[in-house]
Structure 1
């Protein structure tokens, strides 16, 4: 078959190409630029545990070298500390420059034999037929490209989206931020800060650490206001640092500045025949700490295993449609949550009137988006297909599975998340296996029957064993999707039911939630 054409070589396009290549699918990545990332320290990305693990699996080495994990998250209101959150119960968010993430993914893509990167290549037309997509590009070489599928990861002004005639409605200028990257010494090394109503000329300031004593600072500005001059920004820096450092501005080295205007938009459709949208081409978000790049990475992870099945084995229309059904619904829910929260937080209304959980403070609500919690930040769940869920666990059907230690096919013990991204996983909960050599239990108990059942499945599935899983009794079998969401659970070995669940996974797709057809809340200006 022809390769998959990926239009756009940002983090989402490169991640998708690497995820497909890891599953044996060749890709051609059309990059409109020269193939180099301009260093912009003030343009950064926050990754939570699922997306950081995904990027690490794809071979991006920059996470270790150029990212910083939050040591803690603290909130301050006016001059009074409100709360401080540590990450003893789970992984801390990872903060790194976007150009470093893109460079690391590009290096991994250049080293992969199944990824072909084409620079200075601007898409100007595409045609579809029953067997594939033909794309025409201009640039260093004017040529035609033939692909089995095409995915537009080409940003907010997506050429792919425009060529497909897909509308992109939503809200413009939802939030506006002045941003700066600077090297200085602050009183809380390595800890991120949300400061509401500081006495420094902004309603809200966020500080996030980067390596080598560098910080990114964001000041909330009026959505439509005066231009931010360099003098204005320097005054914000000096006044803010003085508030945090006892009244006097410490020495600092200003590395980069900018003004970011955030829009919220959602494409009407994410699929048109053999063409798909992902990342900023499909959605824009970012207010209240939500992370647009991270949602784009989740798009790539969701789409990659479905395109891989289609490329290798053929796939039902329902499976390919499920990409847009799942991801569009998840992002729409995120946008609605942001709209509802902003109506309260930015208008000064009472949380008790608008939001569940009346006791929650505004600071707690704002923290959710930054730390990957609640409707503003938590990893999404997807409505599962009709399949067996015989055993209740702490993970709801369709939810992200817990990152428990598992025994891999080679006998090594690794976190479950390290093995995602390829094939479905069948996980047996077998207490005691963690202390026994693999050869002693591989032929004992349920294992021979389960191995035979897994070997007979219509899609190659990896068999894993865990000493325990939250809420699951011994001998529970969990079927896990390649993107880490729970597909089914069984009490012991159920070959026929397991076969039906895998069939549902590859063919039937999930039920479409009623919210799919509803666009995000459109209070304010709507741009079609």
Structure 2
């Protein structure tokens, strides 16, 4: 079977390659850059807790060793602090990473993975696909033809893959612009991020009505100033003036010593590709969507694209035609990103002072600050992880389905579970291996040796039901799960989204839910056709 071809060796492409490798799927990553990632401290990413956990699983590096977890969040308007959040140990907190550090960790993991071939200096210039696979041609020192089972364009906003497929990419350009500076300095709120609206030292001209400060490791900070509408040239003198004025305002008048590491201007675009799949070719990351206004993070969504697509490609690669499953990638991910874009576009005029807040949210500036906080901290319509509530993979009419605190289609809560070898692990550690997860909620089992409770109570019946499922599944046991009663059973997808919760052991419901999560039963004619075509074609 041919490998999956991934176009683009940025964070999304490398994440997809590693996620496929964990599910024993080989890939070829076409890297136009030649592996040269310029250190740019002004280019950083903020990741939500579960996305950071995904990277830790794939790279083998603790998320805290890649970046800095914020200790808190402050929202300030003029001179008044209007909101403050402290993250205790163990609380979900955003992780702030320099993008070149993230890419380097992913590259190192990919270089050590025998199922991944990174082809440097390889620029895609054409592709062809037929029923049995995809052929791609690259130019450059290693220009050649590549043969793959599928191809995924992770090649950024100017995606060659998207252009070759003639997929439209409508949206808006420069919905926001920010001047950016990263500097090493001591600020009064160590480790805590700040969003400061209407700072009292602002003046006419380029002065910003909003500035944010987000901490990085080694006492570094990224500062972003929201720029007025227009395309005025932002000069180095303007940036240095803003740095000094802002630091003086935050520290009581005197400018503290600082080391300016990097500067830039960041323009936020909002765009969404019309289609994310064309036959055996897919789009992911910035090739499929651009967003980022009001604190939302486009790369975080791109990594979720990779996580969603990887297990579906793995099922198709190992088991043959699963068209409904592959179609669900666009249905799920595009809907989530579209909803986030709509929310940001609707709130932009409100939060930037060009519309009436009362028409949207009762209250005054405090509600504005709450909405802005949601975007930056990954909460609410602007920021929380997307749930696939209307997914075509959602099971229908399960007699034993019960509600828990996690809605069907939403990411599961990370709890301690007992694995098949009797060890205690985190639930998130079992994700991304290509298997469905079946979790029995059984209070008190944590104090018993597995060899005793595996043969007791409902376990033999549940183990038999798991063995009979239409896809490989791992049976886990948890002492508790938010909102789940004792002896309930959770079915979880390989990417960590809840399929269903059942009241007790219900083999028929469990089987129906697992089959639905895989896109339904594979039509016999498709399975036979795919089996006949598997293995045809070679690079």
TM-score range, shorter-chain basis? over 0.9
Q: Secondary structure at the match of 1:236?
A: helix
| Structure-2 separation of matches of 1:349 and 1:316 | 47
1:164 aligned partner: 165
| Structure-1 separation of matches of 2:233 and 2:518 | 52
1:306 to partner: Cα distance: 0.4
In the alignment, is the contact (CA less than 8 A) between 2:208 and 2:228 conserved in 1?
no
2:252 aligned partner: 246
Alignment of 1:307-456 (within 5 A): 307-355=313-361, 361-382=367-388, 383-384=390-391, 385-387=394-396, 388=398, 390-422=401-433, 423-456=435-468
| Structure-2 separation of matches of 1:470 and 1:502 | 22
1:479 aligned partner: 491
1:522 aligned partner: none
Q: Secondary structure at the match of 2:519?
A: helix
Give per-residue Cα distances to partners, 1:92-115, cap 9 Å, x unaligned.
110010000011001000000100
1:185 aligned partner: 186
1:516 aligned partner: none
Give per-residue Cα distances to partners, 1:185-226, cap 9 Å, x unaligned.
101111100000112321100101111110000000023231
TM-score (norm 2): 0.92
Q: Which runs of 5+ in 2 are unaligned?
A: 522-539
2:311 aligned partner: 305
In the alignment, is the contact (CA less than 8 A) between 2:395 and 2:499 conserved in 1?
no
1:360 to partner: Cα distance: 5.4
Aligned residue among 480, 491, 495 for 2:503: 491
TM-score (norm 1): 0.94
Q: Secondary structure at the match of 2:87?
A: coil
What is the aligned length? 509
2:37 aligned partner: 37
1:324 to partner: Cα distance: 0.3
In the alignment, is the contact (CA less than 8 A) between 1:6 and 1:28 conserved in 2?
yes
Aligned residue among 467, 487, 490 for 2:479: 467
Q: Which runs of 5+ in 1 are unaligned?
A: 510-528
| Structure-2 separation of matches of 1:167 and 1:444 | 57
Give per-residue Cα distances to partners, 1:333-364, cap 9 Å, x unaligned.
00000011102011343422124788952111
| Structure-2 separation of matches of 1:334 and 1:60 | 31
In the alignment, is the contact (CA less than 8 A) between 1:62 and 1:100 conserved in 2?
no
| Structure-2 separation of matches of 1:10 and 1:357 | 42
1:521 aligned partner: none
| Aligned-pair Cα RMSD in Å | 1.5
1:65 aligned partner: 65
1:53 aligned partner: 53
| Structure-2 separation of matches of 1:492 and 1:297 | 34
2:238 aligned partner: 232
Moved over 3 A (4+): 355-360
